[in-house]
Structure 1
């Protein structure tokens, strides 16, 4: 099924050159028709399909979709609007950034698809690190799985320079323990947005990353 027409991308291309409230106000009805509503429909359908991959996903589309408005309070770039639409597909959606799940953004430059854990609280991060240290063979198997490697290559994330002493030895064998974020991400051709291949391709990526997200979720919940 096709969820978007050409004006989804055209809207963002024009917004990039006119990123101010006056232009957006004039084009608000166009935004709602060509961008907002189609994206809501797509995420609603994606949530339904994703529950077959992760049954714990219970959030509704409104809980998953990020606002188009940028947070400009601490940014030198005062452009008020984002140039894509994005959502977190997880148990609680964007209301709980620490819950491992999936992520998608659609824009004219690229599609971003991925998952994992991006915002981990201190106790959660400690739990994940100990889980990795206690299960080196499991972690190696997950990251070397051909399906995961084919879609994502590796786990990304910023790292700490120092670790608690009890984790230092394990981190020498598995450097992932140094990471304070553990996520996987790839980009796809934005031309897919206008086709009926978008949904199945996104779901392929979600399925490939699901075992890694499940491992992270298990570490946090236990």
Structure 2
């Protein structure tokens, strides 16, 4: 099924040159028809596909889709709108990024596909580290899988600047224990947005990230 027309990318390209409220309000109907409505339909169908394999995913598109408005409170760039459209499909949705899931970002430049733990709490982070310390090879086997390496490369995330004494030996065995985040990023060309194979391709990514997401989910619970 084709969810989007070429006007999805065209809208954001024009918004990049006219990132102000006057232009956006003048193009509000276009935004609704070319961006928001088809994206909501797409996310709804994506959720249904994932639910075939994960019955615990009980969420609606409105709980996953992030607003197009930027948070400019602490930014020097006061442009009011994002130049991409995003959603975080997980048990926690967009409001709780500690739950592993699939994060999607559509823009004229690319389709970003991300997974893992973006914002674990201190307690969850401690649980992940203890899990890694107990079985250092468990996660390592998953992230060294050839399909994962091909699609996502490696685990990313901010790391501890100073490693506490109690974690130094463990970090030598498994450097990922020093991470404060555990996420990974894949990318597809923007032409995928208007492709009829959109959900099929993204479900391939979801299938590959699933074992890592499940490992992290089990660790934080």
TM-score range for the pair, normalised by the shorter chain length: over 0.9
Q: For 2:204 and 2:9, how far apart are their aligned partners in 1?
A: 23
Ranges in structure 1 where 5+ consecutive residues have no aligned partner: none
Partner of 1:168 in structure 2? 168
Partner of 2:106 in structure 1? 106
SS of the aligned residue for 1:69 comes to coil
Partner of 2:77 in structure 1? 77
TM-superposed CA distance for 1:40, in Å, is: 0.2
Partner of 1:89 in structure 2? 89
Q: For 2:53 and 2:203, how far apart are their aligned partners in 1?
A: 9
* Contact 1:89/1:102 (8 A) holds in 2: yes
SS of the aligned residue for 1:191 comes to helix
Q: For 2:155 and 2:90, how far apart are their aligned partners in 1?
A: 18
Aligned residues: 221
Q: Does 1:5 align with 2:23?
A: no
Ranges in structure 2 where 5+ consecutive residues have no aligned partner: none
* Contact 2:157/2:181 (8 A) holds in 1: yes
TM normalised by structure 1 equals 0.97
Q: For 1:167 and 1:58, how far apart are their aligned partners in 2?
A: 37
* Contact 1:53/1:210 (8 A) holds in 2: no
Output aligned runs, 1:8-87, within 5 Å.
8-87=8-87
Partner of 2:196 in structure 1? 196
* Contact 2:113/2:205 (8 A) holds in 1: yes
**CA deviation map 1:172-205 (0-9, x unaligned):** 0111011101001111100111111211111100
Does the C-alpha gap of structure 1 residues 148 and 55 become closer, same or farther in structure 2, counting only changes over 3 Å? farther
TM-superposed CA distance for 1:164, in Å, is: 3.4
* Contact 2:92/2:98 (8 A) holds in 1: no
SS of the aligned residue for 2:157 comes to coil
What is the Cα-based RMSD across aligned positions, in Å?
A: 1.0
* Contact 1:53/1:207 (8 A) holds in 2: no
**CA deviation map 1:14-63 (0-9, x unaligned):** 00000000000000000001100000000000111112343321111000
Bigger shift: 154-163 or 81-90? 154-163
Output aligned runs, 1:106-125, within 5 Å.
106-125=106-125
Partner of 2:138 in structure 1? 138
Q: For 2:48 and 2:143, how far apart are their aligned partners in 1?
A: 27
* Contact 1:114/1:206 (8 A) holds in 2: no
TM-superposed CA distance for 1:167, in Å, is: 2.0
SS of the aligned residue for 1:114 comes to strand
Q: For 2:78 and 2:162, how far apart are their aligned partners in 1?
A: 35
TM-superposed CA distance for 1:102, in Å, is: 1.1
